[in-house]
A = this chain, B = another copy of it.
């Protein structure tokens, strides 16, 4: 699918997928949120080629998802997540939960989002009555 085709649609899902639909973006964002900040750090974690990683970091900087800074005492650039990157957190947690339910990996580890006490964070749908919604089939999408 060409990016042009999908970005022509006004659906916010279609638009967002144009911005972080490239799978690497979310994996780099995950590392950023975990404190990885250097080119070498991302490369070690993601096993990407230098060329591809350079391209992705540049695109994410242009998109405002990361900021690139060169600390005074160092020569090497460091990368920091912006608010736009942190705001991908709910998307990432929802993907982790979906994956663990539907593609469980008996040998692999468990990835959790944790708060400052090291306790797992839950992601819940809250209805207009302020209660947690566990039955999804009453939900629909409304375009207004």
- Chain B residues within 8 Å of A17, by CB: 23, 26, 95
Distance between A4 CB and nearest chain B CB, rounded to angstroms: 12
Residues 109-144 of A at the B interface (beta carbon under 8 Å): 109-128, 133, 136-144
A79 at the interface (CB under 8 A from B): no
A15 CA / B30 CA spacing, docked (Å):
14
Asked whether, in the complex, the Cβ of A111 is within 8 Å of the Cβ of B30, the reply is no
What per-residue 1/0 map shows which CB atoms of A24-59 lie under 8 Å from chain B? 101100100111000000000001000010000000
User: Can you report 19 A-B residue pairs in the complex whose CB atoms are below 8 A from each other?
Assistant: A6-B27, A11-B30, A12-B108, A15-B99, A17-B23, A33-B139, A33-B141, A86-B136, A87-B101, A89-B136, A90-B97, A90-B98, A91-B94, A112-B144, A113-B142, A115-B133, A119-B127, A121-B126, A121-B139
